[in-house]
Chains A and B, each alone.
Chain A
Amino acid sequence: MMFSSLSSKNSLFPYRLSPPFQAGDEPPETRCRYLPVRSAPPLAPSCSCVAARVLGRPSLASPRRAGRSSPMAPHGFGGLVTRSEGLRVGRKQRVVRFMEGVSLWMAMLLVLFVQPLYAEANTGNEDSAGVLHFVDGKGQWQEPALVLGSDFDVRVSGLIADSKLVRTFKNTSDDWREGVFVFPLPEKASVYGLTMKIGERTIVGEVQPRAEAKKTYETARDAGRHAATVEQQRPNVFTTRVANIPPGAEVSVELSYQQLVSYQDGVFELSVPTTLTPRYMPGEPLAVAPQQWQGGWALPTTEVLDADAISPFTVDVDDVAADSHRASVRFTIDAGLALANVSSPSHPVVAQQDGQVFTVEPQVGEIVMNRDFVLRWQAFAGQEPGAAVFHQRWDGEDYLLAMVVPGRAGKTRLPRELTFVIDTSGSMAGESIRQAREALHLGLDTLAPGDRFNVIQFNSQPHALFMQPEMATANNLARARQYVSGLSADGGTEMASALTMALQSQRAVGRMVAVSSESDLAPKVRQVVFMTDGAVGNESALFDQIRRQLGDQRLFTVAIGSAPNMHFMREAARWGRGSYTSVQDPTDISGPLAKLFAAMEAPVLTDIKVSWQGQSASALEDSFPRRSGDLFQGEPLLQVVRGVSPAGELSVSGRLPGGGVWQQRLDLQQAAPGSGLNRYWAREKIDSLLDEARVQAQEPQKSKITELAVEHNLMSPYTSFVAVDKTPARAPESALLKDNLPTLLPEGSQSGMVRYPQTATFAPLLIALGLLGLMFSAAITLLQRRAYP
């Protein structure tokens, strides 16, 4: 310890001081008088040295005081005796004694007061691994040293949106920094490029198997070279690391990714997620040693082994620098057809038209990265495309992307059994739960007499309104409305038990109903509507569960909040053979929900078969999705294929609920040139390999996926991007500090993470300093009086 050497040096003083007093060659009477004094000096310095030891200021108190008292005391001692005279001396002595007494008591007080501080010296400096550097040593919030800027440049061409995302890390500190940022991307994004820019230089990154990329990056980082890497944690959550950002300098990382534009009911939609809703990690925390790449608020649990990697700290906008976490966004839309309008439900935008091309930017310039940016565009009424074909030749292979929108079939409404599941976990607190309640009220409105329904809410535990689905009578509906209005959000997100309750109870009850009442024998369509923000870490296990428990039911998901986990929505609906929607505009919840509920009521196309006329069987092998899911009204069928030249035709057939057959043919010769189709195909193929593994409950074919990803220069669960500079920039002697950049709390949501408050006052310090000062002055007064009576 720092203080131990000091204290041993100081503690020498009393022993050095005491001999002059004990040397007894003074006149006897003065010796007697001075007996009480004798004890005082040795005690006082020893006290002040206790204080000094604790306060860490030895130079202030003990040596000066000790240095002054040791030569003076023997000196004044002699003088005092020779000049002393009668009463005057007696009074003086009393004052002196009184003062000595006071200082003695004060010293005692101080000793008692500061004594327990020894313990503290041992508990300090516990700076272990995994400490978050935006909270400083005092436990005070500290802004990250890195200022993060983002720039999205999205170019839409036909059905593919190609984005360049530039992340700028500006180092505002005097140290070298490593920046770590966990961020979301669209759920079906294919990341295909990484470029690092330092000043004028540009370094192009390459795809490497994940472990290899990590090693490359770490080696470069430790060698002081500029390096950047991006790895995939979830299909829509990524981590970027940038090593050796020089003090005061800026390093930018450009990420290229593409995504498919979603098209439903004649509306094209594209969303750019900017932040993550803090996720709930079910399971027991694992007691693992802090890992090297750790940096989240959550510890790995038995069910989410990488919880620390997908849980960046979430902070308020006010907690980051004023120019940090802002994004400039620019969309260039060339839809290939005349557009009636372009709008955004999430942000006010300005659109400029130049022929068929639209340029869209947010009205305010830079947007705060605390909610998804959503853009919609639409063709003129009556001119909505019903089909589209795109063709690309890449690396000697033909790639085709075809889209077919089934026409509207007549309505044949069947009685339904509808279960609403609403997420009332803590992450839904704030605006989200309000939206969810409203959405649920809208859902209850769609129930018709003859339908059965139930409402299940869940947080740490699920709770159902009715024991079993009840008839949609006015009375039951009123009860449900009251129940829904009283819902508030708090607690965990234990989705598995809620899913079980929703999917299993229906089945059991369905059987019971079939047996008990004969009038109810008419087939019921069983549907589950799941309203959530998807803020969970164990998505994969939940998809498994949905697949196992689904039976003949259908699961629909409704994404709630400013930054929902769209990967969860999409996949849960896919495994649940339903569809999904998201509430993007808090002022217009009914719009997207009306479409979903309409789709749920309309008949579904099943048994969809796709055939590429006049093509070999191998082409069918390379056509994705391998087995198309059911189609709801307004949903397009998308098919991507490799090795099919733009000739012949695509024929699609399906079965209508009444037993009728629906068929459509598409002439492939009219294909428009497209770009990025190979990446879309590769991503679809990787996804299909992962699906196969899930269905067969096996490990995915890692080597095959890696090979495919490297061939198409793609990011995947097993491949990462890494860019490394050749020459070292940081000298080995200067340290590199790590900065885990937080993400912003989604707008309208309440933070579930609370910082521990400051719970101590300066009172003890003030009292100690005051006592010390008083004691010190008392001692000086005492000595002065003794020296110059």
Chain B
Amino acid sequence: MNRSLLLLITSSSMLLLFGLWVPVKAVVAQELLEIAWAESQARQTESRPWPWADTWPVAKLSMPELGSSMIVLAGVHGESLAFGPGQMMGGGGQQEAVVIAGHRDTHFRPLKQLELGNELRLQSRDGLWKEYRVQTTRVVDSRTELIDTHKLPAGTLLLVTCYPFDSMDAGGPLRYVVEARAEGAARVVDVESLESDHNQVLYSQAILDEIDTVAGL
């Protein structure tokens, strides 16, 4: 009786330890990733957080309203998702749609609290922050729906995690998708027009100079 009890206690503790190991790993890895992220920003190269890692930081995601921020890794294989949310696609062009997926039990748990209009910020390796606003949140059934990457409008950020948030079933079919639209989308155009405005300003200053000289005569 005692032996089986001991067995039960040990196995339960093991289960508990294994269970707790996942969130611990997620938290510890993020600390290491911070260093790797700083390094990759400084050197502008892919820098692996530890020598045998098969992933590397590609962006930093922050949710100012919730006060949480995390390093995003390349790829969405199990290995990368254990340490941080993974970037499924995007990040190439300035306006390219970005899809990031994360574990609902660890990094993407705060997604539950995101509300429409909340701000999301994404920092790329060149240090530029891009701002997004949450447009919609919805639950999709991954059995019937795929992400059509070609149909994603430019400047979209999709955050994907499993749903429901407190489920025990790790293989459930439902996904929680947060869709955010870049605020910079308009801003980038603004910058361009600003530049052209700037040129015009210079141009008109030249004209003004002329006029000034005329006026000065």
Centre residue among B106, B142, B143, B166 by max chain A CB count within 10 A = B143
Rounded to whole angstroms, the CA-CA distance of A131 and B142 in the bound complex is: 10
Q: Does B3 contact A (CB under 8 A)?
A: no
Question: How many cross-chain pairs have Cβ atoms below 8 Å apart between A and B?
Answer: 183
Query: A762-776 interface mask toward B, CB cutoff 8 Å, 1 = contact, 0 = none?
Result: 111111111111101
Which residues, 138 to 187 on B, are CB-close (under 8 Å) to A?
Answer: 140-151, 153-154, 160-162, 164-175
A773 touches B8 (CB 8 A): yes
A761 B22 Cβ-Cβ under 8 A: yes
Contacts of A751-783 to chain B: CB distance below 8 A: 752-774, 776-777, 780-781
How far is B149's CA from A752's CA once the two chains are assembled, in angstroms?
A: 5
Interface residue? B60 (CB, 8 A): no
Q: Which of B11, B22, B170, B175 has the most CB of A within 10 A?
A: B170
A354 CB–B CB distance under 8 Å: no
Evaluate contact between A131 and B19: CB separation under 8 angstroms: no
Interface check A733, CB cutoff 8 A: no
Judge if A211 is at the interface, Cβ distance under 8 Å: no
> Would you give the shortest CB distance from A780 to chain B, in whole angstroms?
6
Q: Please, which residue of chain B has its CB at the minimum distance from the CB of A778?
A: B9
Smallest CB separation, B25 vs chain A (Å): 9
**Chain B residues closer than 8 Å to A132, beta-carbon distance:** 143-144
Interchain CA distance A277-B7 in the complex, whole Å: 57
**In the assembled complex, B50 has its CB within 8 A of some CB on chain A:** no
B170 touches A770 (CB 8 A): no
Q: Are A770 and B146 in contact (CB under 8 A)?
A: no
Cβ–Cβ < 8 Å partners of A780 in chain B: 5, 8
Q: In the assembled complex, which residues on chain A have CB atoms less than 8 Å from the CB atom of B215?
A: none
In the bound complex, CA of A491 to CA of B96 (Å): 10
Given contacts A758-B171, A761-B22, A764-B168, is CB(A777)–CB(B147) below 8 Å? no
**B173 neighbours in A (Cβ, 8 Å):** 135, 137-139
Query: Do B175 and A767 touch across chains, with their CB atoms under 8 A apart?
Result: no
Residues of chain A within 8 A of B146, CB atoms compared: 297, 753-756
- Say yes or no: is A140 at the interface (Cβ < 8 Å to chain B): yes
> Contact partner of A773 among B11, B22, B101, CB < 8 A?
B11
The B-contacting residues of A in range 410-443, CB under 8 angstroms, are 425-427
Q: How far is the CA of A119 from the CA of B169 in the complex (A)?
A: 13
Q: Report the Cα distance A754→B149, complex, angstroms.
A: 7
Residue from A766, A769, A777 in contact with B9 in the complex, judged by beta carbons closer than 8 Å: A777
Partner among B21, B140, B151, B170 whose Cβ is within 8 Å of the Cβ of A756: B140
Interfacial chain B residues near A135, Cβ < 8 Å: 142-144, 173
| Pair A774/B9 contact, Cβ less than 8 Å | yes
CB neighbours (8 Å) of B106 from chain A are 761, 763
On whether A139 and B19 interact (CB within 8 A), knowing A131-B144, A757-B81, A777-B5, the answer reads: no
**Are the CB atoms of A762 and B12 closer together than 8 Å?**
no
Residues of B within 8 A of A116 (CB): 164-166
- Residue-wise interface mask of B (1-22) relative to A, using a CB-CB cutoff of 8 A (1 in contact, 0 not): 1000100110111111111111
CA distance A137 to B141 in the complex (A): 10
Give, as a whole number of angstroms, the nearest-CB distance from B17 to chain A: 7
Question: How far apart are A48's CB and chain B's nearest CB, in angstroms?
Answer: 14
Closest to A768 in B: B168
Asked whether B143 lies within 8 Å of A131 as measured between CB atoms, the reply is: yes
> With a CB–CB cut-off of 8 A, which chain B residues contact A784?
1, 5
The answer on a CB contact under 8 Å between B171 and A117 is no
Query: Are B162 and A759 in contact, with the CB atoms below 8 A?
Result: yes
A-B contact pairs, 26 of them (CB 8 A): A120-B164, A120-B166, A120-B167, A120-B168, A130-B144, A140-B171, A425-B150, A427-B150, A460-B153, A490-B150, A491-B150, A492-B151, A754-B88, A754-B147, A755-B147, A756-B101, A757-B86, A758-B78, A759-B104, A760-B167, A761-B106, A766-B15, A766-B18, A768-B19, A770-B13, A773-B9
Give the top 9 A-B pairs by smallest Cβ distance, nearest first: A773-B12, A770-B16, A426-B150, A766-B19, A767-B19, A116-B166, A770-B15, A763-B22, A139-B173
